[in-house]
Chain A
Amino acid sequence: MASLTADDTTIEAPPRAGFTKSLKDFIRNQPLGAAGGAIVILMIVAAIFADFITVYDPEQISFEAMLVPPQWAYPLGTDNYGRDILTRVIYGARTALFVGFVAAFVGSFIGLVLGVASAYFGGTFDLIFQRVMDVFLAFPLIILALAVVAVLGTGTENVIIAITIPFIPQCARVVRSNALAIREIPYVDAARACGFSHTRIILRHMVPNVMAPFLIMVTAFVGQAILLEASLSYLGLGVQEPVPAWGLMLQGGAEEYAESAPWVAIFPGLAITLAVFAFNLFGDALRDVLDPKLRSER
């Protein structure tokens, strides 16, 4: 514990909250957010250890067990190829989270650097950069993603790129407006006066100060990316069979057998909803905690 001593007065610095205490505070103040966080962690664990917690092979076709209703051996039933839906939902979490995290992090990181750079340099660079971003922002996410898929083709890697690209301008726009305010704060001038390089000022002095809006955006993007991946896969333009993916599971068989075998359509959609729901709850709570304006008003 640090203390300052001047003559006979001692000013004690308040103790730094430990991780356990912060966690407890978070759970008490943000019960919904904590629940969301718990679901996210559960899904990550399930996705990582999918091989150990499932009995069936997600790609194993079994003609003896086609469209079996939910029962003990198949808790969520089987699809029209006789594949266990629970197994495919768990493996699907792997695909969804992988695509979601990579696309959200890469997209928002590029957006972060570009947004801060645009605010820092200002002038013509900023003006041109903003017009380019305007062009990208004039389209719905799904349309941009479709355009990228048209160029690159389908498949998991291409879907990630297709989802990453539309996130860049979205993140850059928000980060830029935050960074514009930071640029005016004297410590940036001080850093410049010290002769630091542009890269150093951007990465060491400005980027850490826009972390709050950035993190909020990343959590929101993960949810959006999961939805986008599901939509693209549902259209047949995303992840391809036989890779287990939630959107793909809703395509074809799910609609065809909707009436006689509703479980084929219900559970994968429920998984998508739960995942995005959890990320949004967590993101909302994170915003409340990280946004100083909201914090003081609570």
Chain B
Amino acid sequence: MYKYVVNRVLLMLPTLLGAAVLVFIVLRLAPGDVCEMRMAGTGLFADPEAIAVCQENLGLNDSKLEQFGRFIGGYFVGDLGISMWTARPVTEEIAIRFKLSLELAIMATVISVIIAIPLGTISAVKQNTWMDYAVRTFSIAGIAMPSFWLGILIILGLLITTQAWFGSPWMPPIHYIPLFEDPLGNLTQLIWPALATGYRYAAVSTRMTRSALLEVLREDYVRTAHAKGLLNKLIIRRHALKNAMLPVVTIIGIEFAFLMGGLVVTEQVFNLNGIGKLFVESVLNHDFNMTQQLVMLVALIFIITNFLVDLLYAWLDPRIRYA
């Protein structure tokens, strides 16, 4: 087990290095840089000398190899550099948004699990009945519905119902309310985007639960359990569901990783200042440094989540032993 963990951690390094090379090259392929964006972006005349000074200060004139060296070298000295747009440390900028994104990702994952596992189970147990069809339609609708549209609909619904019931329209506050300062305010703010994204991810896990459970329900040990007269409920809960959870856990893990970095559009709808929004802004501003660090963060979260999921496997299924 120990050897396996070390091996896996070592295997992360080439993937991360690959991601670093990829993002570094892609960013430099794009025309323009942050200095041009900052000075000419306003539409006013930009002094070429000022742009040159800015480029010099940010080290954009150094050779590509030097720039890449600084990017990678930063990890060894624990310095991730500054945002080329705001001039504040990257770690600081990310830290502000990370809390919000993490909270939202956890809430959305919890919502999706609460919806997905019972619905997927019903759908599999009552295969090819109206209940199964209803659940399948519900889950395909969740995959088909763009979460930003669902977000717009939720806001619209809130505005209309609050107007009708309380006489004045209400919508979730735009400015982030920290969890520990005002838990209730925080919840009323984040529950809506969490619902909008949670439904979508619930749809994916519902389908996975259904198909995994369908496979398990055909196993011999389930038939044996039936033959010895066990209650159906018990068979599903103790024998079938537990064995069907492996692929579901994988899907939930991958979803969680995506939720941390991929909520670009939902954050836009609810005007939340999270990692996704920061990412779009950095890309548009040609903020190389910030974009690079964000890409590495997303990749790292993704790789670590995958690794944890694999470890969870061994815990869920005692037959799996990593040697």
Contact = CB atoms under 8 A, between A and B. Distances in A.
B and A form one assembly? yes
Interface of A: 32, 131-132, 134-136, 138-143, 146-148, 150-151, 223, 227, 230-231, 234-235, 237, 247, 250, 254-255, 258-259, 262, 265-266, 269, 272-277, 280-281, 284, 297
10 contacts: A131-B18, A139-B19, A143-B261, A146-B280, A147-B23, A259-B156, A259-B160, A269-B149, A273-B145, A277-B141
Nearest to A258: B156
Given A143-B295, A266-B153, A134 B15 contact: yes
Nearest to A280: B140
A231 B145 contact: no
B122 interface: no
Given A134-B15, A277-B141, A297-B218, A235 B22 contact: no
A274 B302 CA distance: 31
B140 A146 contact: no
User: 5 smallest A-B Cβ distances: which pairs?
Assistant: A140-B262, A269-B149, A276-B144, A135-B18, A277-B144
Given A140-B262, A259-B159, 8 more contacts: A131-B18, A132-B18, A143-B261, A234-B265, A259-B163, A269-B146, A273-B145, A276-B144
A273 B303 CA distance: 31
B148 to A, nearest CB: 6
A269 B83 CA distance: 36
Interface of A is mostly: helix
Q: Determine chain B's interface SS by DSSP, over half rule.
A: helix
Given A146-B264, A151-B29, A231-B148, A140 B155 contact: no
A131 B262 contact: no
B149 A258 contact: no
Interface residues of B, number: 47
Given A227-B146, A280-B140, A281-B140, A142 B264 contact: yes
B143 interface: yes
A143 B264 contact: yes
Nearest to B300: A138
A258 B303 contact: no
Q: Which of B145, B149, B279, B284 lies at the interface centre, i.e. has the most chain A CB atoms within 10 A of its CB?
A: B149
A298 B133 CA distance: 16
A273 B141 contact: yes
Interface in B18-50: 18-19, 22-23, 26-27, 29-30
Interface in B124-167: 133, 136-137, 140-141, 143-146, 148-149, 152-153, 155-156, 159-160, 163
A132 to B, nearest CB: 7
Contact of A139 (B163, B284, B302): B302
B216 interface: no
A142 B136 CA distance: 26
A80 to B, nearest CB: 15
B14 A151 contact: no
Interface string B4-26: 00000000001100110011001
